[in-house]
Chain A
Amino acid sequence: MTVAEVVERLELEALAAGELKATVAGGYCSDLLSDVLAHAQSGDMWITHQRHMNVVAVAKLKEVAAVILVRGAAPSAEMTGRARSEGVTILRSSASAFQVAGRLYQLLEG
């Protein structure tokens, strides 16, 4: 499944669009940056409440397929600007982390 398909199925809003044709390998849900650096896999969708510049740096380092901000969290213009220039995809959902993770799990593994 591609990022674009997940965007459509989970009704996500794209705040910064990188490679939307990238394949989604899995997901990782965490608000702790070092935990993401240790355990997220490349191609994962990273589900988080964090919305600052370091999120873009971590997303890039781990080569995640996209970041999904939950509960409608609004990132700064600076963050989306950096994401665009780095080619990192930032998506947003109004649903909770629990709901987004559950629906993504169902799409990928169900």
Chain B
Amino acid sequence: MPPKEKLLHRRVFILLPGNLEQAGSVSGDVRRELVALGVEQDIVRRAGVVCFEGEMNIAMYSEGGRIILLVADDRVELLFSDRGPGIPDIELARTPGYSTAPDWARELGFGAGMGIPNMEHQSDRLEIRSRLEGGTVIRAVFRRGRG
């Protein structure tokens, strides 16, 4: 890995639990900020999707958390962290189709079990760490300046 370049931008979004209606809003803000900073359109698109999925999981499964957006010359990062039950089996949670979403959420179109797989697919690197009865931290990295 080349040395990390200086940060251009850092922003923290606080997320409350259970508020799915409000939950789409951080991905919109992230998208707007990335556009304003002149970040490549492809990364704006991918980061928007990753942010939405991470945001929804925090809203649906945790007791609240936050999302930090970092922008540097060489990369964009999204850091999701929450307080909550944690993910007992991360391999299982990464499996397409695996979901513990409650029925009310499924009626709204959540629960395909595609959120984490989408986050992996749309980012250049995705790290998940979780502690039972503690919470979950997910780091998504998007590399800039390459096709």
Contacts known (A34-B114, A34-B115, A37-B118); A57 close to B108, Cβ less than 8 A: no
Q: Is A35 an interface residue (CB 8 A)?
A: yes
Question: Cβ of B114 and Cβ of A38 under 8 Å apart?
Answer: yes
Contacts known (A31-B109, A34-B118, A61-B27); A54 close to B20, Cβ less than 8 A: yes
Q: Is B112 an interface residue (CB 8 A)?
A: yes
B114: which of A32, A53, A54 is its contact (CB, 8 Å)?
A: A32
Q: Is B121 an interface residue (CB 8 A)?
A: yes
Please report which residues of chain B, range 80-122, place their CB below 8 angstroms from some CB of chain A when the two chains form the complex: 108-115, 117-118, 121
A54: which of B21, B31, B49, B112 is its contact (CB, 8 Å)?
A: B21
State the B residues within 8 Å of A (CB).
20-21, 23-25, 27-28, 31, 45, 48-49, 52-53, 56, 108-115, 117-118, 121
Question: Cβ of B121 and Cβ of A38 under 8 Å apart?
Answer: yes
Give chain A's interface residue range (CB within 8 Å of chain B): 20 to 34
Question: Cβ of B112 and Cβ of A58 under 8 Å apart?
Answer: no
Min Cβ gap A40→B in Å is: 11
Q: Which residues of A sit under 8 angstroms from B110, Cβ to Cβ?
A: 33-34
Q: Which residues of B sit under 8 angstroms from A57, Cβ to Cβ?
A: 24-25, 27-28, 52
Question: Cβ of B21 and Cβ of A61 under 8 Å apart?
Answer: no
Question: Cβ of A37 and Cβ of B49 under 8 Å apart?
Answer: yes
List 6 interface pairs A-B (beta carbons < 8 Å), by A numbering.
A34-B53, A35-B112, A37-B118, A52-B21, A53-B24, A60-B28
Give Cα distance in the complex from A62 to B44, angstroms: 11
